[in-house]
Chains A and B, each alone.
Chain A
Amino acid sequence: MTILLEGARLAQPKPERWRVAAADLFSSPVNAAVTVVVAGVIVVALWQFARWAVFDAAWSGGPEACRARSGACWPFVRSNAQLMVFGVYPQDLLWRPAVSLVLMAGVGVASMIPRLWSAPLALAWAAVPAAVCILLSGAFFGRPVSTNEWGGLPLTLLVWMIAFAGAFVVAVPLALARRSKMGGLRTAAIILIELVRGVPMLVALYVSRFIVPMMAPAFEVNLFVSVETALILFVASYLAEIIRAGLQSLPRGQTEAASALGLSYWRMTQLVLLPQALRAVIPALVNLGIGVLLSTPLVAVIGMTDFLSAVREAASHEQEWPGCYTTAYFVAGLVFFSICFIASRYSRWLERRLRAAGHA
C-alpha cells in the first residue's frame, strides 16, 4: 500500500521550488502583507549596507580619502592590518606570531578530518600550544618577549586553544567524578562545577587575576597564566556537564558488556564509554567551542591585547585615521563570524557523516 503511494508521488511532476515558496508566502492577505514588509526591510538594509561597504566607501588613498567619504574606510584596514592581526608584538619579530598562526590553523584543520582522530592529534593539541608559547616568548632560542606584548589574533587563538584543550583534561575526570559511586568525590565535583558555572566569566577572570594573588601573595602570577587558569576551570565546568550528558545517554548494556568481558573501570571508560559519549555530544562541543572563542575578548578587561582589543587599538589613533571604528569592528566581526560559521557548518557535516556511518 505504502509502496504504491510512494510510486504515485514519484510519478507526479515535482513542483518548482519558487512556486511552492510563493504559495506559502502569499497564502493569505495578512501573510502577503507580512512578506512585503519583511522583504522591504531586507532590501533597505542590504542597500544601506552596500552603500556603506561599497558605493560610499573609500577604496584607495590615505586618511584624507576617508575623511571625504561617508562609508567604510578600506585603506585603513590595509595600512593597519599588521597591528590588527598581531597587536603590539615587536615589529621585527613578526615571523614568530605568523608561524604560530600557521601552526594553530594547521591543528585546527587537522582536527576537522575524522581520519586523523588518533593519539598523535591529541598530542598535537598539547604540543602546538606549548610550541606557540615558546615561539612567542622567545624562550630557549631568542630575544625574550614578555606576555604583555603578545597580542592580536595569535593570542586570541592561543588563549582559546589552551583553554579548550586544558578544559578537556580537567573536564573528563570531573565528569567521571560526578558520576562516581564514591559520595565524597561526587560531592566535590558537583560543588566545583556548580560554583564555577554560577559566576560570569568576567568574575572568574577577575578572581583569578586579582583576588587569588591577594589571598596567596607568595605566588607572583603571570597575566597569561592567571587568564588561562580561570578560563580552563570555567570551560571545564561546562564541558564536564556536556560529557556527563554524553555518558548518561549510553545504554546500561554497554557498561555491563564491558564489565562482563573483564575490562577494568578505566579501560571501559577509555575504550567503550568515552568514545561513544563524545561522539554523541559533538554538536554541544562545537557550540561550547564557539561560545568560548566569542568570549575571549573579555580577557581584555584584565589587560590582555587580544584580537578585538588590537583592532580597537588600531582604530583609536584618531589623529591619523579618524572615525575608523565602524570599519575596524566590521572586520573583527567578519573574522570571528568566519571562524564560527566554518565550525558550525563543519559540525553539521560531521553529525550527518557519523549518523550515515551508523555508529554515532
Chain B
Amino acid sequence: MRPAMPEHRLRQSLESVQGARRPPPRAAPAIEFVGVHKWYGAFQVLRDIRLAVDPGERVVVCGPSGSGKSTLIRCVNRLEEHQKGTIRVNGVELTASLKQTDRVRREVGMVFQQFNLFPHLTVLENCALAPVWAEGVKRPEAEERAHALLAKVKIADQAHKYPSQLSGGQQQRVAIARALCMNPKIMLFDEPTSALDPEMVKEVLDTMTALASEGMTMIVVTHEMGFARRVADKVVFMDNGEIVEASDPEEFFTAPRQERARQFLSQLLR
C-alpha cells in the first residue's frame, strides 16, 4: 500500500467527502451507458455495459489489465467510439456528430496516465490554451483562471516553467489544473498515478481527494484501493470487457459478491 495520509488530513478530507455525498436524489444521470458494446476488429473489448453515474457521484473503476476499464472511460469523451448501445453525457448522446462530441468534450475533463502535457508550452500556456481556443475566453481571463487553478493544485510558483522541468507528480497536477480550466462538470482519470514514482502518488491523490470533496462528478480508473475506499461512492469491477460487480466500496472491499472480484482483491492486497 502507498504511504498513508497523516491522520488529521485524512479525517479532514473524509469529513468533507462525506459532507458532500450525493446531492438530492434522482437528478438525471451525468453519464449513462445503456447496453454498450465495442470491438477492436474481431476482439470484443466492451460487453453490454450498463452504468449510470449521478451528478456529484464518484466512481472508481478497477479490474485486471486488459479488462476494458480504460476503454470504458475513453468512450465517455469519445476518444474511443462504441459500436452498439447508447452513451449519454449530461443528456447529450454521443454519435458521429462532431458538434455533439465537441460539446461533450468541453464539459468533460480528462487526466491521462502519461500526463500528456504539451511539451512546447509553459505550464501556464498549457492551462490557458483550451479556454482561449476552444471556449473563446479572452487571454487575460484565461490566464487568471489558469493561475487560480494552478494555485489550487499547489503549483502556482511553477507557472512559467516547461513541463520537462517538473517532476512527474507536479506534471500530473498541472494536467489536472489544465483539465479544470475548462470548468468541466465531469472529470475522468485514466490511471493517473500509475506512471508516477511512489513518493509522488500521494500529492496527486490528495489533489483528487480535494476535488472530490467539492462535489465533482468523477470516474477514476485506478489500482489505488485506499483511495477508492476513502473517496468512492461506487466501485465498479470489470473483467474481460464486462462490469462484473458495481457496489458500495465498503461492501466491495469487505465482502465482494463475485469470485473474480475476490481473486482480484486478494492479488492486489497480497
Q: Which residues of B contact A258 (CB under 8 A)?
A: 118
Q: Map CB proximity to B onto A118-149 as digits: 1 under 8 Å, 0 otherwise.
A: 00000000000000000000000000000000
In whole angstroms, what is the CA distance A267 to B130 when docked? 9
Which residues of A sit under 8 angstroms from B109, Cβ to Cβ?
Answer: 260-261
- Identify the stretch in A14-22, A186-194, A249-257, A281-289 within 8 Å (CB) of chain B at 4 or more residues: A249-257
Contact (Cβ within 8 A) B120 A358: no
Interface stretch (choices A158-166, A212-220, A270-278)? A270-278
- B177 smallest CB distance to A (angstroms): 12
**Which chain A residues numbered 226 to 273 have a C-beta less than 8 Å away from chain B?**
251, 253-254, 256-264, 267, 271-272
With contacts A267-B133, A271-B133 taken as known, whether A359 is within 8 angstroms of B112 at the C-beta atoms is no
Q: Is B129 engaged at the interface, CB distance under 8 Å to the other chain?
A: yes
Task: For chain B, residues 96 to 128, give those with C-beta under 8 angstroms from any C-beta of chain A.
Answer: 102, 105-106, 108-110, 112, 114, 116-120
Q: Tell me the count of chain B residues lying within 8 A, CB to CB, of chain A.
A: 28
Residue of chain B at shortest CB distance from A358:
B164
> Which A residue sits closest to B118, measured CB to CB?
A272
Chain B residues whose CB sits within 8 angstroms of the CB of A267 once the complex forms: 133-134
Q: Which of B77, B119, B179, B182 has the most CB of A within 10 A?
A: B119
| CB pair A359 B110 closer than 8 Å | no
Which residues of chain B in 196-253 are interfacial with respect to chain A, using CB atoms and an 8 Å cutoff? none
Verify if A357 is at the interface (C-beta below 8 Å from B): yes
What is the interface of chain A mostly: helix, strand, loop, or mixed? helix
Whether B129 pairs with A260 at a CB distance below 8 angstroms is no
Q: Which of A260, A264, A271, A358 has the most CB of B within 10 A?
A: A260
The answer to whether A262 touches B162 (Cβ under 8 A) is: no
Give chain B residues whose Cβ lies under 8 Å from the Cβ of A179: none
Residue in B closest to A267 when the chains form the complex, CB atoms: B133
Q: How many chain-A residues does the 8 Å CB contact rule pick out?
A: 21
Contact of A261 with B119 at beta-carbon distance under 8 Å, contacts A253-B114, A267-B133, A358-B164 already known: no
Q: Which residues of A contact B175 (CB under 8 A)?
A: 257
B116 touching A262 by the CB < 8 A rule? Answer: no
Among B119, B134, B163, B165, point to the contact of A262 (Cβ < 8 A).
B134
Kindly state whether residue B28 has any CB partner on chain A within 8 Å.
Answer: no
- Knowing A260-B79, A263-B129, A271-B129, the reply to whether A359 touches B164 (Cβ < 8 A) is yes
Q: Is B135 an interface residue (CB 8 A)?
A: yes
A279 at the interface (CB under 8 A from B): yes
State the CA gap A174–B134 with chains docked (Å). 25
A residues within 8 A CB of B165? 358
CB of B114, distance to nearest CB on chain A (Å): 5
In the assembled complex, the Cα of A259 lies from the Cα of B78 at a distance in Å of 9
How far, in Å, is B160 (CB) from chain A's closest CB?
Answer: 13
Chain A positions 345-360 with a Cβ under 8 Å from a chain B Cβ: 357-359
Count of A-B contacts with CB under 8 A? 69
Asked whether B182 lies within 8 Å of A253 as measured between CB atoms, the reply is no
| Residues from chain B with Cβ under 8 Å of A257 in the complex | 110, 112, 116-118, 175
Pair B119/A359 contact, Cβ less than 8 Å: yes
Q: Which A residue's beta carbon lies closest to that of B114? A: A253
Are A256 and B164 in contact, CB atoms less than 8 angstroms apart?
A: no
The answer to whether A262 and B114 touch (CB under 8 A), given A276-B119, A358-B165, is no
**B162: A residues at CB distance < 8 A:** 357-359
Residue among A253, A261, A271, A357 with most chain B CB within 10 A: A261
**Docked pose: A101 CA to B79 CA in angstroms:** 51
Q: How far is the CA of A251 from the CA of B164 in the complex (A)?
A: 15
User: A271 to chain B: which residues have CB within 8 Å?
Assistant: 129, 133
Bound Cα distance from A264 to B120, whole angstroms? 19
A254, A262, A264, A272, most chain B CB atoms within 10 A: A262
Contact call B105/A262, Cβ cutoff below 8 A: yes
Are B112 and A253 closer than 8 Å at their CB atoms? yes
B118 engages A262 (CB within 8 Å):
no
> What chain B residues lie within 8 Å of A358 (beta carbons)?
119, 162, 164-165
Which residue of chain A is the closest to B110 with respect to CB atoms?
A: A260
In the complex where A267-B134, A271-B133 touch, is A260 in contact with B118 (Cβ < 8 A)?
A: no
Bound-complex Cα distance A260 to B104 (A): 9
The smallest C-beta distance from B234 to any residue of chain A, in angstroms, reads: 23
Task: List chain A positions with a Cβ less than 8 A from chain B.
Answer: 251, 253-254, 256-264, 267, 271-272, 275-276, 279, 357-359
Q: A276-B118, A276-B119 are in contact. List 12 more A-B contacts (CB 8 A).
A: A251-B114, A253-B112, A257-B112, A258-B118, A259-B79, A260-B179, A261-B105, A263-B130, A263-B133, A272-B118, A276-B120, A359-B162
Offer 21 A-B interface pairs, CB within 8 angstroms, sorted by A.
A257-B110, A259-B105, A260-B110, A261-B109, A261-B178, A261-B179, A261-B182, A262-B105, A262-B130, A262-B182, A263-B129, A263-B134, A264-B102, A264-B134, A267-B133, A272-B129, A276-B118, A276-B119, A358-B162, A359-B163, A359-B164
